[in-house]
Structure 1
Amino acid sequence: MSRKRPRGELNGVNVSIPEPVNPPFQMSIRKPAPYSDELDAELERERSDYTTRITYKMAKSGKVSRPIRVYADGIYDLFHQGHARQLMQAKNVFPNVYLLVGVCSDELTHSKKGRTVMTDFERYEAVRNCRYVDEVVREAPWELDDDFLNKHKIDFVAHDEIPYGTDDCQDVYAGLKAKGMFVATERTEGVSTSDIVARIVRDYDIYVRRNLARGYSAKELNVSFLNEKKFRLQNKMVELKDKGKRVMENIGEKKVDMIQKWEEKSRDFIDAFLLLFGREGRLSHIWNESKGRLMQALSPPSSPGRDSSPTSSTSYDRDEAESPPPKTGRYDFSPLPANNLRDNNILNNDYSDDDNDDEDDERQSK
């Protein structure tokens, strides 16, 4: 769907106002910036017309026919984001900038500022691979004079506004500021090469152990034999600690699944237990059946008896309560009176004679 152009009035006539054109997207640079003594840099320098002095106002207007040649310098040891941001600001200080970056050599840097971590070649290569840089000047001077400015056709010098003093002067950029050839950039707070070096020194043991683990020898790291053994032992302890931490993290990730599975299993176990040992469970039914069979075996059914009516039971209890009369013998053996003893003896003698006669008759019959 096409968009309509906005319309306005100019002296009573309707005119179309063109929409602002977005600048084309710039692709990343495919090759590093050239050094100042290479052919590409020399050709670009020859094309630049340095006969006309470009003022700050002219450069800001964007009406200059050639690129504005801006120069920034530094040590750029351990190239970091603070360096990149400084070069980005220098590149965008004017609409059309050709950025030259000067990097000091090791000899000059060590004499003026101290020892660096990276060599000058490493620092050159780090700077030339920054996307904002168009040209690199090797072995840059500590202080800029007119000969150097004219040689490289420099229009402006970019640096932060903090005075940069030496033994001879308080600010090496004071002359450029007086000529109107200085443009200020801002420093990135909290980021510097000194902070990085301080961080390495503070954590010296950690980085020594790191390099020992990566295959560096104690001689290469300037570490004694005892310290080497100490650092290697510390590495082993750290590895064990990390392994235990990873195990605990894995357990923590699986903890929820384990709890859910345990809850499911516990419910199944409880249901199975109740089915087996509960009040209505299988063992209860088995026990009740076995108990019934055992009771039937121990107490057989009784034979039918007398009527178990309340009347009969009452009479039975009454008969049980009444004791039967004592039994008496066939003959009364109670003591006899004295006047009957004689008759009793006579009676006994008669019985004995009869018995003897019976015995004689049995012998004869045989």
Structure 2
Amino acid sequence: MIRSFVHKAIYEPLDPTSGQAKRDYKINQPPDGGKNPARPVRIYADGVYDLFHYAHALQLRQAKLSFPSVHLIVGVVSSRLCAQHKNKPVMSSAERYAAVRNCRWVDEVVEDAPWVINQELLDLYRIDYVAHDEVPYGGTDGAEDIYKFVKDQGRFLPTNRTPGVSTSELLARIVEQYREHAYDGKLVKIGHAELAFK
């Protein structure tokens, strides 16, 4: 199913009903057809990966299984960059690097990955594709889509989002349960009674 989705994205760019392009960018064909184990397709995925959860793992799984032979490189943004561009993560940089490194689909982790992908990164890691969901991801500099650079090169590989779970959703659940005193006993038990909800 994953390979079928990727195959259609690459080889069937037109909607059969309307004859119009399904996307406003094209996707390059994989090197060697993507079937040569001696030359795996090199795919890069990036993110914060805070409170690493099953939607993160499923996105990385999609990237890893996109072709018969894939070397999956995952860039994890540092806490410093997150605080600068988005918000401070719950987990430290080292914890997030370790969480991603221990995901079965990941072959290589780039620590302190750049917020925006540039040519230097693509060349350094010999990246064929960058995998991410297709929702445009705006930059703090006013850019409408930080992945436009790789889309323009035909190197963007779309993945599907997993509905119903996100780090933001998990944080909302934690805050809600905290306000309902669900964690008071645990906080007292671990020596942080001062953090119990007042």
| TM-score bracket for this pair, using the shorter chain length | 0.7 to 0.9
Asked if residue 113 in structure 1 is aligned to residue 86 in structure 2, the reply is yes
Q: Is the 8 A contact 1:165 1:171 kept in 2?
A: yes
User: 2:116 matched to which residue of 1?
Assistant: 143
TM superposition score normalised by structure 1: 0.44
Instruction: Give the whole-Å Cα distance in 1 for the aligned partners of 2:74 and 2:165.
Output: 20
Asked if residue 198 in structure 1 is aligned to residue 182 in structure 2, the reply is no
Instruction: Give the whole-Å Cα distance in 1 for the aligned partners of 2:30 and 2:49.
Output: 30
Q: Is the 8 A contact 1:91 1:98 kept in 2?
A: yes
Once the two structures are aligned, what percentage of the paired residues are identical?
A: 48
Which of 57, 77, 86 aligns to 2:59? It is 86
Instruction: Give the whole-Å Cα distance in 1 for the aligned partners of 2:32 and 2:43.
Output: 11
Asked if residue 217 in structure 1 is aligned to residue 192 in structure 2, the reply is yes
User: 2:44 matched to which residue of 1?
Assistant: 71
Change over 3 Å in CA distance of 1:140–1:155 after alignment to 2 = same
Displacement, 1:215?
Answer: 3.4
Asked if residue 99 in structure 1 is aligned to residue 75 in structure 2, the reply is no
Instruction: Give the whole-Å Cα distance in 2 for the aligned partners of 1:59 and 1:169.
Output: 34
In the comparison of the two structures, how many residue pairs are matched?
168
Structure 1, unaligned runs of 5 or more: 1-54, 228-366
- Write the deviation string for residues 108-130 of structure 1: whole angstroms up to 9, x where unpaired: 00111112111111000000000
Displacement, 1:208?
Answer: 2.3
Q: Is the 8 A contact 1:58 1:64 kept in 2?
A: no
Q: If you compute each CA radius of gyration, which structure gives the higher value, 1 or 2?
A: 1
Q: Is the 8 A contact 1:200 1:207 kept in 2?
A: no
Instruction: Give the whole-Å Cα distance in 2 for the aligned partners of 1:89 and 1:59.
Output: 20
Q: Which has the higher strand share?
A: 2
Instruction: Give the whole-Å Cα distance in 2 for the aligned partners of 1:117 and 1:59.
Output: 41
Displacement, 1:61?
Answer: 4.8
- Write the deviation string for residues 138-165 of structure 1: whole angstroms up to 9, x where unpaired: 0000111111111111111100000001
User: 1:156 matched to which residue of 2?
Assistant: 129
Displacement, 1:168?
Answer: 3.1
Q: Is the 8 A contact 1:59 1:94 kept in 2?
A: no
Bigger shift: residues 202-211 or 181-190:
202-211
Structure 2, unaligned runs of 5 or more: 1-27
Letter in 2 for 1:189: P
Displacement, 1:60?
Answer: 4.3
Name the structure, 1 or 2, with higher relative contact order (CA <8 Å, separation 6+).
2
Change over 3 Å in CA distance of 1:91–1:209 after alignment to 2 = same
Instruction: Give the whole-Å Cα distance in 2 for the aligned partners of 1:61 and 1:179.
Output: 18
Letter in 1 for 2:155: M
Letter in 2 for 1:206: A
Instruction: Give the whole-Å Cα distance in 1 for the aligned partners of 2:31 and 2:192.
Output: 59
Instruction: Give the whole-Å Cα distance in 2 for the aligned partners of 1:173 and 1:61.
Output: 22
- Map residues 244-263 of structure 1 onto 2, 5 A cutoff: none
Which of 165, 171, 176 aligns to 2:150? It is 176
